[in-house]
Amino acid sequence: MTQIVIIGGGQAAGQAVASLRQEGFEGKIVLIGEESTLPYQRPPLSKAYLSGAVPAEKLLVRPEKFYEDRDVEVHLGTTVTAISSDQKTVTTADGTFDFDKLLIATGSTPRKLSIPGSDLNGIHYLRTMADVDAIRAQMADAKRLCIVGGGYIGLEVASVAVSAGLSVDVLEMEARILQRVTTPFMSAFYHQLHEGRGVKIHTETGCSGFRGTDQGVTHVQCGDAEIEADLVIVGIGIVPNIQLALDAGLACDNGITVDDHCQTSHPDIYAAGDCTNHPNPILGRRLRLESVPNAMDQARTSAANMLGGDKTYAAVPWFWSDQYELKLQMLGFSADADAAVLRGDPETLQFAQFYLFDGKVVAIDAVNSPKEFMVAKQLFGHSVAADDLANPEVDLKSLLPSA
Amino acid sequence: MPSVKFIEHNGTEHVVEGNNGDSLMVIATSNLVPGIDADCGGECSCATCHVLVDGEWLSKLGAISETEESMLDLNPDREPSSRLSCQIHMSDDLAGIVINLPEFQY
């Protein structure tokens, strides 16, 4: 085999390049990314990069020299316009590339609002380094930020912005923030946390439009009510980038359909990251995940299998979120549980909520509790006495399967 | 530039150079040293960059933070010399440091 093409320039693409070389592939690697930046870490964008604590060069997953030294042909700022699965070519404005194997790592795009005024200056989405550069440029002079969407991105931005002295409103359509992704208990905890820090949260409040001047947005409209804002960040979810795959005739269903080897419906085409709909053999169902660990693991799996390996992707999903001085680490899905066990006291901002199904650990939300998170990783799928988990006097080590 | 010697669990050695200020995790991944996953990118959130610091070098490192200690505490391969490589930053004092890699990351 001589040539592998990777479409995408995110963390899955970056990891795939590294894994291919690490696995000993000596042929040509072509990476085609739409953004103008080499693969970088996305999670800090709504956290330390937004706050200014971490500079851009620290976000690159590997330095520019890495790609030169490893002989990777990198095309940045380049849009792929078509994949031909029959001819095994990828077409861009710059030309056409042949591939023996192709990895689609196109990621996802923020869901857009299409309501009156949504193209006013000062209204942003947050996905790329360029997005955050634009936000930061306006944040310096902004007074009133309105965040549309009470998900993790929105709440991370809220914590940075209110800490920087801005007035912050969060609009959430559902009855509680984080409704799609966590339990009422955790929603209530974060609601209280943010309100305590000065963020105003408006639940059951949809955004119906924006009002402004030539200079930019001045008001966010919620039905009959209006909220003043000179900066707006919309975080209402993402949609997987599957159009190229669809046009190429690959099977897609809420993501590019892959098997547990990250192979699409075409044997020479693989996919990794946010854009995939993949089976999870541990959970026994298909998932589409918006998660860095998933992107990295699928990239490693794809790389091994494109080179003729037989690697299965089977991992328990995990996520993290930093807000204020709180580090939240999550494993599994709390929606799978029939019982919850609290260890620690939320008032101290250090606690873990374990989730069980049929007496077995299926998920955890750990706030400033890395040890509990690591325990849950090892206890996943194992039966454990709820009373022991809840009792801070019981040493967590004694609960491990090997103990 | 100061160098670091990474030794894989199977004995394979990798002597690589790094910039002062870069974490050992970044130096390892930038040089394709196998055995360090670093899924969280250096936020001390995942514990998949576990390393074992060789002998005398351990005393030259700064104190371990509470978060790092907690992340390492339950690792089945935990040794007294265990550290998370994202939390160790290169400096002239560490030039030539020797790092052993565990067989697995959890």
* Domains along the sequence of chain B with CATH: 3-100 (3.10.20.30)
Same domain for A136 and A221? Answer: yes
Among residues A361, A360, A383, A358, which one has the least CA distance to residue A372?
A361
**CATH number, position A347:** 3.30.390.30
Q: Note whether residue A8 is domain-resident.
A: yes
Same domain for A75 and A29? Answer: yes
Verify whether the Cβ–Cβ distance B45 to A329 is below 8 Å: yes
- Taking the CA atoms of A242, A259, B105 and A354 in sequence, report the sign of the dihedral they define: positive
CA A179, CA B84: separation in Å to the nearest integer? 34
Residue whose token pair is 């351990």: B58
Which pair of tokens denotes residue A379? 């206890």
Angle at A231 between CA A228 and CA A235, to 5 degrees: 105
**CATH number, position A92:** 3.50.50.60
Contacts of A323 (CB under 8 A, 6+ apart): A155, A156, A158, A159, A190, A193, A194
Verify whether the Cβ–Cβ distance B73 to A371 is below 8 Å: yes
Q: Note whether residue A335 is domain-resident.
A: yes
Residue whose token pair is 């055995």: B35
In single-letter form, the type of residue at position B62 comes to G
CA A157, CA A366: separation in Å to the nearest integer? 20
Same domain for A99 and A122? Answer: no
- Interface residues on B facing A, Cβ-Cβ cutoff 8 A: 29-30, 32, 34, 37, 39-41, 43-47, 67, 70-71, 73-76, 106
Distances (CA, A) of A331 to A62, A115, A235, A252, A285: 27, 36, 22, 27, 16
SS3 call for B62: coil
CA A152, CA A323: separation in Å to the nearest integer? 9
CA A168, CA A87: separation in Å to the nearest integer? 52
How do B50-53 and B97-100 pair as beta strands?
antiparallel
Contacts of A67 (CB under 8 A, 6+ apart): A17, A31, A38, A74
CA A136, CA A131: separation in Å to the nearest integer? 9
Q: Note whether residue A193 is domain-resident.
A: yes
pLDDT the model gives residue B105: 87
Contacts of B33 (CB under 8 A, 6+ apart): B6, B8, B14, B16, B27, B101
Query: Which residue on chain A is closest to B23 by alpha carbon?
Result: A58
Which residues in chain A are closer than 8 Å to B106, comparing Cβ atoms?
A: 374, 377-378
Of A22, A70, A370, the CB nearest to B34: A22
Which of the residues A152, A373, A395, A398 would you substitute to probe the B interface, choosing the one with the greatest number of B C-beta atoms within 10 Å? A373
Q: Note whether residue A311 is domain-resident.
A: no
pLDDT the model gives residue A403: 58
Residue whose token pair is 């979810």: A237
pLDDT the model gives residue B55: 86
Query: Which residue on chain A is closest to B28 by alpha carbon?
Result: A62
Which residues of chain B carry a pLDDT beneath 70?
Answer: none
CA A402, CA A398: separation in Å to the nearest integer? 9
Same domain for A195 and A170? Answer: yes
CA B24, CA A108: separation in Å to the nearest integer? 31
Same domain for A72 and A126? Answer: no
Same domain for A42 and A69? Answer: yes
How do A167-171 and A144-148 pair as beta strands?
parallel
HSE-CB of A300 using CA atoms within 13 angstroms: 18
Q: Name the domain count of chain A.
A: 3
Residue whose token pair is 């400033």: A368
CA A231, CA B72: separation in Å to the nearest integer? 41
Q: Note whether residue A362 is domain-resident.
A: yes
Q: Note whether residue A74 is domain-resident.
A: yes
Q: With contact defined as beta carbons under 8 Å apart, do B23 and B88 qualify?
A: yes
Residue whose token pair is 């040539």: A3
Same domain for A14 and A155? Answer: no
Same domain for A100 and A53? Answer: yes
Same domain for A246 and A97? Answer: yes
A152-163 and A184-196 are packed helices; what angle lies between their axes, rounded to 10 degrees? 20
- Taking the CA atoms of B10, B11, B17 and B19 in sequence, report the sign of the dihedral they define: positive
Domain boundary among A234, A256, A271: A234
Q: Note whether residue A13 is domain-resident.
A: yes
Q: Tabulate helix, strand, coil % of chain A (nearest 5).
A: 25, 30, 40
Q: Note whether residue A161 is domain-resident.
A: yes
Q: With contact defined as beta carbons under 8 Å apart, do A227 and A219 qualify?
A: yes
Domain boundary among A234, A259, A277: A234
Verify whether the Cβ–Cβ distance B39 to A70 is below 8 Å: no
Same domain for A242 and A100? Answer: yes
DSSP letter (8 states) at residue A371: H
Q: What is the pTM of this model?
A: 0.96
Of B37, B67, B106, the CB nearest to A370: B67
Verify whether the Cβ–Cβ distance A296 to B40 is below 8 Å: no
Q: Which range marks the domain in which residue A63 is found?
A: 3-109+238-306
Distance in Å, alpha carbon of B54 to nearest chain A alpha carbon: 24
Same domain for A134 and A105? Answer: no
Verify whether the Cβ–Cβ distance B73 to A400 is below 8 Å: no
Q: Tabulate helix, strand, coil % of chain B (nearest 5).
A: 25, 20, 55
Of A43, A70, A378, the CB nearest to B41: A43
Spell out the per-residue pLDDT of chain A, length 403, in tens: 689 999 999 999 999 999 999 999 999 999 999 999 999 999 999 999 999 999 999 999 999 999 999 999 999 999 999 999 999 999 998 899 999 999 999 999 999 999 999 999 999 999 999 999 999 999 999 999 999 999 999 999 999 999 999 999 999 999 999 999 999 999 999 999 999 999 999 999 999 999 999 999 999 999 899 999 999 999 999 999 999 999 999 999 999 999 999 999 999 999 999 999 999 999 999 999 999 999 999 999 999 999 999 999 999 999 999 999 999 999 999 999 999 999 999 999 999 999 999 999 999 999 999 999 999 999 999 999 999 999 999 999 899 887 5
Strand partners, A383: A360
Strand partners, A31: A6, A74
Which of the residues B40, B89, B106 would you substitute to probe the A interface, choosing the one with the greatest number of A C-beta atoms within 10 Å? B40
pLDDT the model gives residue B61: 94
DSSP letter (8 states) at residue A21: H
pLDDT the model gives residue A256: 98
Domain boundary among A216, A234, A252: A234
Query: Which residue on chain B is closest to A398 by alpha carbon?
Result: B74
Same domain for A206 and A247? Answer: no
Which residues in chain B are closer than 8 Å to A298, comparing Cβ atoms?
A: none
SS3 call for A140: coil
